[in-house]
Amino acid sequence: MQMSFDAQNSGVMVARPVGRLDLLSAAEAKARLSETAAGGHPRLVIDLAGVSFIDSTGLGALIGALKAARQHGGDLRLASPTDQATMLLSVTALDRVMKPYASVEDALAGY
């Protein structure tokens, strides 16, 4: 899985993963996001527009990144989830913990 990072003027880091967030990529994604939070950017927005599929291990990576962000005084927001991601977040009730936003701009607003 490819992932780019873009620091915003507000100090929020936007992560843009591309591909599948599944068993094969979840550990690396979790590690990179957790390292970002620990490295001085605990306020994260993950732009899911480029993620074509998420499974349970992918959800685990997002939860791990959320935990890391909160341990370092920040938070994690999800932006632009696909229909599949939205459905998965809803079914697992994780949309209550990681509220999805329609766009990166919406997620950044008021952060």
Would you list the domain boundaries of the chain?
2-108
pLDDT one-digit tens code per residue, 40-57: 999 999 999 999 999 999
Determine the pLDDT at residue 9.
85
State pTM to two decimals.
Answer: 0.94
57, 20 Cβ separation under 8 angstroms:
no
Determine the pLDDT at residue 58.
97
CATH 3.30.750.24 fits 2-108, yes or no: yes
> Which element (helix H / strand E) includes 47?
strand 43-47
34, 68 Cβ separation under 8 angstroms:
yes
User: Residue 17 — φ and ψ, nearest 5°?
Assistant: -75, 150
Q: Which residues, other chains included, contact 19 with Cβ-Cβ below 8 Å and sequence gap of 6+?
A: 1, 2, 25, 50, 51, 52
Segment-wise mean pLDDT, segments of 10 residues, the chain, 111 residues? 92 96 97 96 97 97 97 97 96 94 95 85
